[in-house]
Amino acid sequence: MGKYNASPDHFGLALGARSVATGLLLALLAGCAGQESASLSESANAETVPQAAPDPDPATAVINGVDDIGQATAAAGDLSLREDAPLHYTVKKGDTLWGISNYYLRDAWQWPQLWYTNGQIKNPHLIYPGEVLTLVMVNGRPRLILAEDRLHPRIHEMPLDQAIPAIPIDAIREFLRGPRLISKEEIDKAPYVVEFTDEHVIVGQNSSVYVKNLPKDTVSSWSLVKVGNPYIDPDSHELLGYEAIPTGEADLRDYGQPAEMILTKSPQEVEIGNRLLPLEPESFKADFYPHAPAVPVDGRILSVYGALTLIAQYDIVAINRGSRDGLDPGSMLGIYQQGHSVADPYGSGKVQLPEQKAGLLMIFKVTPRLSYGLVLKETRPAHQYDKVHNPASRRH
């Protein structure tokens, strides 16, 4: 399975070396499952964070300019507004919302508390290259607005795909056609390769294969996958599903039992026994932004894309919490290295060390029981089964 290693240049996260980013939002997802109702139990370890209050009506809001950043930071309260935040910023192509959030906030997941949303706009968090962001005081609190919002709110609609993304699409594009979560029932019902048309042990692109149990009157294109390891919740021991690792794509040549199909793509070697699943379309929607979960979330990292156990910045990880636990695309979670037990030098017992903050990740793909996130910050090495929960706010 391939591993994505992104360079910092792909991210626009450096705060000094370049004008850091802005942007909003992609919510990819063919695999984003719908919300599933479930009771949410609060964890003692989950840290609650302040949520943004509803924005005042633009018609009645008192909006004043900011001449000095000190004026804004003095009124910021729980908002982690940076002392070096710019009063104005012109959005550039290549910016990301995560980057611009870091430019203004020490805790970028507080974006909803900073950004003044205009209720007249269908997607108020969408930001486009060329627009100017301005720091102002709205009813006495620092907020960031589009320059034109002050007198003439933007009410026109602009194409979704022209908005700057929350995180760079290139960072996760490889993953989107990578592993996905499937159930035991999906595996058992899926068609599978029974033989190759030629006498080979393994085959690749442009080779033909015979497939059993392909439905009649079906779509012509399919994804071939190898069933990988099960995802087991380390806390509840619940089976969350299985990893389906793509080995190729195939088009129907001649229907039958078995059917003959030709391989159109083959990033890995296709083997007898590989299962066939419907293709997951590469679907992007610019409609999410960094934010803290609305409820306490306490989970663990199940795996790292690339089958590694040591986690670094820009790695993609799977965690054992999903939409039923209150996560959605854009949710920010802190990564915490588990504390271990050490011998007491003056006693016979053990001393349990506390957990240490190791980084920060953003969720970008969600299923009911499992989510995938991109590690955006790393402060110390993290590992498989380390904890994730609501990020803690840094105050002045």
Among 248, 278, 308, the domain-final residue is: 278
Taking all residues of the chain, what is their mean pLDDT, rounded to a whole number? Answer: 79
Is 241 contained in some domain? yes
Q: Are 243 and 304 in a shared domain? A: no
Contacts 24+ apart (CB under 8 A), 391-394: 391/47, 391/49, 391/107, 391/109, 391/292, 391/332, 391/333, 391/334, 391/360, 392/47, 392/49, 392/334, 392/357, 393/49, 393/50, 393/78, 393/80, 393/107, 393/110, 394/80, 394/106, 394/107
pLDDT digits (tens, 9 = 90+) for 190-203: 999 999 988 777 78
Is 207 contained in some domain? yes
Q: Are 266 and 355 in a shared domain? A: no
| Contact between 363 and 328 (Cβ < 8 Å) | yes
Q: Which residues of the chain have pLDDT under 70?
A: 1-59, 118-125, 148-161, 171, 173-177, 281-287, 307-309, 393-396
Q: Are 384 and 306 in a shared domain? A: yes
What range does the domain containing 368 cover? 298-389
Is 169 contained in some domain? no
Is 144 contained in some domain? no
Report the SS3 class of residue 36: coil
pLDDT digits (tens, 9 = 90+) for 7-55: 333 333 332 332 333 333 233 333 333 333 333 233 333 333 334 445 6
- Share in percent of the chain as helix, strand, coil (round to 5): 10, 30, 55
Total domain count, the chain: 2
| CATH code at position 321 | 2.40.10
Q: Are 270 and 323 in a shared domain? A: no
Instruction: Tell me phi and psi for residue 380, to 5 degrees.
Output: -160, 160
- What percent of the chain lies above the pLDDT cut of 70? 74
pLDDT digits (tens, 9 = 90+) for 145-159: 887 654 444 544 566
Is 115 contained in some domain? no
Among 216, 246, 278, the domain-final residue is: 278
| Contact between 32 and 26 (Cβ < 8 Å) | no
Sequence-ordered list of residues with C-beta below 8 angstroms from that of 371, at least 6 positions apart, any chain: 318, 319, 321, 322, 323, 327, 331, 363, 365
Q: What is the pLDDT of residue 161?
A: 67
